[in-house]
Structure 1
């Protein structure tokens, strides 16, 4: 089974002022919307974003990915399901549609997620991968007001309700702590049986790893610090799978990586440095008191983080001067010629033992035309080099949407353009 490459789009605000990080408290929760966010620009961004995702489908990416965040300029996709519905109709080459995902703790009742995901699955002819993230503390606790200690209990109950709604004949009753429903009877149910594959996403929670192993879900490590900083965390994931008696199938894991491809290593720096700097200086401008509210992280995950020096690693990564040399050497970005990028991606995938790459190819202020170039060069010159890195181990990808095209036997149409 081939390595899966998903073009994952954060959808950032691309025109923050040059002095944003010195004038404003945070990119998340409190950046003044009427002062900084121009709806006319957002309308243009949304068109660009969808054009870029649709281009990735035409060029042969295995999947196109969207996610959910609130009240920020880092990624203003408050409803990924709206974007996924558009993509279901406008991706004729049948890429998987990866919604990573709906932040379950925010939906009450959670049957709303079951219904909308089922709609997307039917609209896309069974191409949905259903992401169930716990969600950031900024989104869940600060923007939506969920008490931090309720974040994971709400998530667990929502996950149980959604799976029942997809697999249990209705109508039936559900009497949970946060969802009390006399009738659960969603129309439609998903096209994929028993239900769309569930993809978990996170940044190091032990409970999320255990859920992935117990329920046979995938786990994707979503970070901007690269494989060097991610190895300790992913080693923890695989050790947890070993303890639970779960196999080391690389397709049960994924990682996100910022990628910049150009004709040469030198040209990549000239074209992309400005936009990578924008991302790390502005899009990640978040004070510690917003990043994680007290009580958001469980005791078990906190103990693991301390044991493995995770807070120290994150602090060290955050303190590094984000010049081009550091960004590349530390793995925050993988940039350069197609050959350079392919070699480094193979090394990263082997280091973390992951079979799913969430390729972040639109970064920060990167303009539309440069983004299309990045997507195109990756698809045509990098993707073929990295597809087969796990072929010799003979694993099966049991978590790929049933209706998505098999790119291993699909060729990119000659002359494909944006």
Structure 2
């Protein structure tokens, strides 16, 4: 399996009465709740945790894009990834991802992802989400019924920019460019691997199958409830005649907390789980699915956005959340057993580990992360031996990479000019 330590970067200072006094954590959240001075420490702590995970053997460290919210204060994941690129090594930079329908023109994504790939020595794993309705339609004003069409055109332009060696003109419906000729180009050829976050859209299934991208279901309702949706994906893979059902064609995000015992896990992490599920996921239902955001085909399948459900979390206890699979928490052995069940039941080879939860302090997060890396992760590495050589969906770094900050000592006299 591939393990990515993923940080949503939630705002950890939402008040106790947040639900009662605020309609939503997203879109129209009260700006007075954000403290720029406190954010200086928050951002740097979150980046420190990502860097720390990169030293423990995780395959990737992950970031993503959201806007106008306290659930994840990362409107530009590329800025965070650029900082990580210089201070990490031997770990994939999983940018999951850029909401490409929002960029005008989308070649900006092609350029910035190429920069990240070059700076990191070929460690980029790219992500192209359509984006939540909150982000794309309400925060950025995209017309819901045109979002997916704009997304498809943006994707076409980015891939063509990455793979075409000569300047070309692009005459799309939303992007008309006389000269497309990006500098720099990504190290990984023909382009970095692509993962597509999805929430159940049939069109996203087909998009991943057609382009040999990995489909990633990012959910907070847990792996047990995800079974029906992932079964739908694998059924579609089979219907479309894909050559294999490699588990690396899919990924799943799971909230994970590890302690020495199940009892210690509850004692340490229950307050932070409560904070996340009852404040960070407090989304006004009217923002979750703008009319036209979902296609008719997807609506007919009965698939629902994960963001349409969080209101029900207020009544769930720690026991409910762990037994129903929303959260996998406990001793290393408990966590291992549950994750093995997750991987095999969903047939997913890419696990996005949500190990920093809500307002969890750094010390607790590091404790949980270290236990996971040392006592859980090694036992799950070879869970899919038949696909051990499938590297289509992961980055391929340069064998020899430069060491940042390795300039020579400054000369005391002018260098001799080359002849």
Q: Name the TM tier (shorter chain).
A: over 0.9
Distance 2:361 2:398 in 1: 29
Of 183, 187, 197, the residue aligned with 1:187 is 183
Contact kept, 8 Å, 2:278 with 2:314, in 1: the verdict is: no
Contact kept, 8 Å, 1:261 with 1:338, in 2: the verdict is: yes
Distance 1:82 1:260 in 2: 27
Matches within 5 A, 1:142-153: 142-153=138-149
Matches within 5 A, 1:398-417: 398-403=392-397
**How far does the alpha carbon of each residue in 1:74-123 deviate from its partner, in whole angstroms, 9 at most, with x for none?**
0010100001111111112x100000000011001000000000000000
Q: Give the Å deviation of 1:8.
A: 0.6
1:356–1:121: structure 2 CA closer, same or farther, 3 Å change rule? same
Of 13, 16, 27, the residue aligned with 2:14 is 16
**How far does the alpha carbon of each residue in 1:296-344 deviate from its partner, in whole angstroms, 9 at most, with x for none?**
01111111126xxx57997599367221110111100000001110110
Contact kept, 8 Å, 1:111 with 1:165, in 2: the verdict is: yes
- SS of match in other structure, 1:297: coil
Contact kept, 8 Å, 1:361 with 1:374, in 2: the verdict is: yes
1:39–1:159: structure 2 CA closer, same or farther, 3 Å change rule? same
Of 25, 28, 31, the residue aligned with 2:29 is 31
TM normalised by structure 1 equals 0.93
Distance 2:341 2:185 in 1: 40
Distance 2:311 2:8 in 1: 21
Contact kept, 8 Å, 1:69 with 1:76, in 2: the verdict is: yes
Q: Give the Å deviation of 1:349.
A: 0.7
The residue aligned with 1:227 is 223
Quick check: 1:156 aligned with 2:152?
Answer: yes
- SS of match in other structure, 2:376: helix
**How far does the alpha carbon of each residue in 1:241-284 deviate from its partner, in whole angstroms, 9 at most, with x for none?**
00111120001100000000001000000000000000110011
Quick check: 1:119 aligned with 2:115?
Answer: yes
Unpaired stretches in structure 1, ≥5 consecutive residues: 406-418
Matches within 5 A, 1:212-223: 212-223=208-219
Matches within 5 A, 1:239-318: 239-246=235-242, 247-305=244-302, 310=304, 315=309, 318=312
The residue aligned with 1:211 is 207
The residue aligned with 2:131 is 135
Distance 1:319 1:259 in 2: 17
Matches within 5 A, 1:339-418: 339-392=333-386, 394=388, 396-403=390-397
Contact kept, 8 Å, 1:229 with 1:313, in 2: the verdict is: no
1:102–1:393: structure 2 CA closer, same or farther, 3 Å change rule? closer
Contact kept, 8 Å, 1:13 with 1:75, in 2: the verdict is: yes
**How far does the alpha carbon of each residue in 1:186-227 deviate from its partner, in whole angstroms, 9 at most, with x for none?**
001110000001110011111011000001111100000111
Contact kept, 8 Å, 1:261 with 1:374, in 2: the verdict is: yes
Distance 1:237 1:156 in 2: 20
1:322–1:395: structure 2 CA closer, same or farther, 3 Å change rule? farther
Give the count of matched residue pairs: 398
Greater radius of gyration (CA): 2
Of 60, 81, 85, the residue aligned with 1:84 is 81
Distance 1:230 1:46 in 2: 31
Distance 2:272 2:104 in 1: 38
Quick check: 1:196 aligned with 2:218?
Answer: no
Q: Give the Å deviation of 1:65.
A: 0.2
**How far does the alpha carbon of each residue in 1:135-158 deviate from its partner, in whole angstroms, 9 at most, with x for none?**
000000000000101110110000
- SS of match in other structure, 2:197: strand
Runs of 4 or more consecutive aligned structure 1 residues displaced over 6 Å after TM superposition: 311-314
1:312–1:212: structure 2 CA closer, same or farther, 3 Å change rule? closer
Of 167, 172, 175, the residue aligned with 2:168 is 172
- SS of match in other structure, 2:162: helix
**How far does the alpha carbon of each residue in 1:1-31 deviate from its partner, in whole angstroms, 9 at most, with x for none?**
xx00000110000110000011001000011
Q: Give the Å deviation of 1:169.
A: 1.6
Q: Which has the higher contact order (CA 8 A, sep 6+)?
A: 1
TM normalised by structure 2 equals 0.92
- SS of match in other structure, 1:47: helix
The two structures, once aligned, show a CA RMSD in angstroms of 1.7
Distance 1:283 1:225 in 2: 14
